Structure 1
């Protein structure tokens, strides 16, 4: 077995206005701007996504301007709307139960930003960041936590990448019910599953460009929604197997660090990159890897880095 390494980091960026976020984002800009769609590079496309963001996420418009102004790049504000990005499809597993959100995030290591961010754009939020200010999962100071998985279907439409939706809901909502209500009016570009947890409720909601938000039978998700899973998809993703396993295990961290929930690298290089265990009512999250953990909280957020070693099949 050869080994693969991935460095995760934790940073504080405040309200985004003091240069810390911009200093970090500039190091990734060349890589990130390549993810902007061709439409987003046109005058008409740029105007469309700006209008979409202003219409659906008005509370975040001042933050968008603050961040884009510091990047000082012609397409920065268009990119940061997350409404003109190439789609991505992470294969993840998650469950909400008894005030806890537990999730595995699966993707090729080089495609994951790997940055835990503590921010105060509109309110205190901690989460695993991607695409400069979007979130793969996170929690806010009201005790609300969210995480995402790909919905397993190839549909694509005009709308937001799910990363900015997670950010928006955490910045503007206090409860699961409030967040689910907000989802009803948000256009989503790609089928995704969101699991939401607060101190008294946990749900999973299926969203996508071709469907109204739909509450799932329970607060669990892998990589399918309400449609049948093909044999080919099951062989590639083991989505039904993982969903059965997490339903049986509940919020058991040890189970998330073992097969079938913990996934070694597949033919595309996708693998479980981290496990996140959120207890949002306590303002606490712990990120896990086999044999290692990294706790963070609103009261005690610790910037730094952790390099994780993965076994890689030869």
Structure 2
């Protein structure tokens, strides 16, 4: 697979009120607005999304309202609930161990925002942003870190995109047990695996629209929840092979940057876009690509941009 170039940006949006978040999100709006479902574009769908958000994420309602005013786009408030997005399916490998969280995010580079955001909506949070204010992974100032992988089953139901769920957990929870308890009652639109780490515990849980929250045997996940995995799915995703590999390698950045954990099927939406290594007790995250890394922290967050090479060298 040929290599690709991609630009990542780091921005500090504060509480979302100074215009930086709005300018960034408005520039992306022509693309991200298209992620909203047809149901979400109706008055009835918008009302249901608002009610769902108010019911399950009341602490974030003032933030939602503030950001929607800043975004100032038709349908912006409904979009930002992330309760009306069309389903999306990604790859990913992740493991929590000894107070650290290590993950590969696998997706199409053309459809990945590539934004590292420092925010202070309810508390300090740093993470990889997508869909306005959702997070693919992140950490907060209490030492909690979370990340997601697709659960591998192509089912869809009413509920939130997991991106806003990770944001909610980091904004409102201090520890893994508290976050897992919150997850039990949150409706999730598609099957997802969530890995959570704090100074004392690491766990992976399976969630989805058709299953109760289930704790995985180990604090690691790829792209399945239940066995057996169909042969065709395994050939495409190598999910069981990757899980065996990450179990053996542990939280090893070098292993994440080479096959089978590092994927290069970018034209099929299954290539590694970045590797993120969170050390939440230190308030630090380092993003890795082949031959390059970029560290950010609560103590020294540096806005800017990096253009990096994705894919294995020929």
Q: TM-score, normalised by structure 2?
A: 0.98
Alignment partner, residue 162 of structure 1:
162
CA distance in 2, matches of 1:110, 1:266: 9
Note the C-alpha offset of 1:18. 1.0
Alignment partner, residue 299 of structure 1:
299
CA distance in 2, matches of 1:254, 1:285: 16
Alignment partner, residue 144 of structure 2:
144
Q: Describe how 1:116-127 pairs up with structure 2 within 5 A.
A: 116-127=116-127
- After TM superposition, the structure 1 stretch with the greater mean CA deviation from structure 2, 168-177 or 304-313, is 304-313
SS in 2 for 1:188: coil
Alignment partner, residue 283 of structure 2:
283
CA distance in 1, matches of 2:258, 2:54: 43
SS in 1 for 2:235: helix
SS in 2 for 1:34: helix
CA distance in 1, matches of 2:70, 2:261: 40
CA distance in 2, matches of 1:310, 1:250: 23
Give CA deviations for 1:120-148 in whole Å, capped at 9, x if unaligned. Answer: 00000000000010000000000000000
CA distance in 1, matches of 2:311, 2:244: 26
CA distance in 2, matches of 1:307, 1:76: 30
Q: Does 1:208 align with 2:186?
A: no
Distance 1:28 1:19, change over 3 A: same
Distance 1:13 1:193, change over 3 A: same
Give CA deviations for 1:182-201 in whole Å, capped at 9, x if unaligned. Answer: 01110000000000000000
Alignment partner, residue 76 of structure 1:
76
Distance 1:155 1:134, change over 3 A: same
Is the Cα–Cα contact under 8 Å of residues 176 and 201 in structure 1 kept in the other structure? Answer: yes
Following TM superposition, the consecutive aligned residue runs of length 4 or more in structure 1 with deviations greater than 2 angstroms are 310-314
SS in 1 for 2:35: coil
Is the Cα–Cα contact under 8 Å of residues 109 and 270 in structure 1 kept in the other structure? Answer: no
Give CA deviations for 1:195-240 in whole Å, capped at 9, x if unaligned. Answer: 0000000000000000111110010000000242000000000000
Give CA deviations for 1:160-195 in whole Å, capped at 9, x if unaligned. Answer: 000000000000000000000001110000000000
Is the Cα–Cα contact under 8 Å of residues 207 and 213 in structure 1 kept in the other structure? Answer: yes
CA distance in 2, matches of 1:57, 1:81: 10
Aligned length: 314
Q: Describe how 1:1-314 pairs up with structure 2 within 5 A.
A: 2-265=2-265, 267-311=267-311
Give CA deviations for 1:38-89 in whole Å, capped at 9, x if unaligned. Answer: 0001111110000000000000000000000011112000000000001111
Is the Cα–Cα contact under 8 Å of residues 4 and 312 in structure 1 kept in the other structure? Answer: no
Query: What's the C-alpha RMSD, in Å, of the aligned pairs?
Result: 1.3
Note the C-alpha offset of 1:12. 0.2
Is the Cα–Cα contact under 8 Å of residues 127 and 139 in structure 1 kept in the other structure? Answer: yes
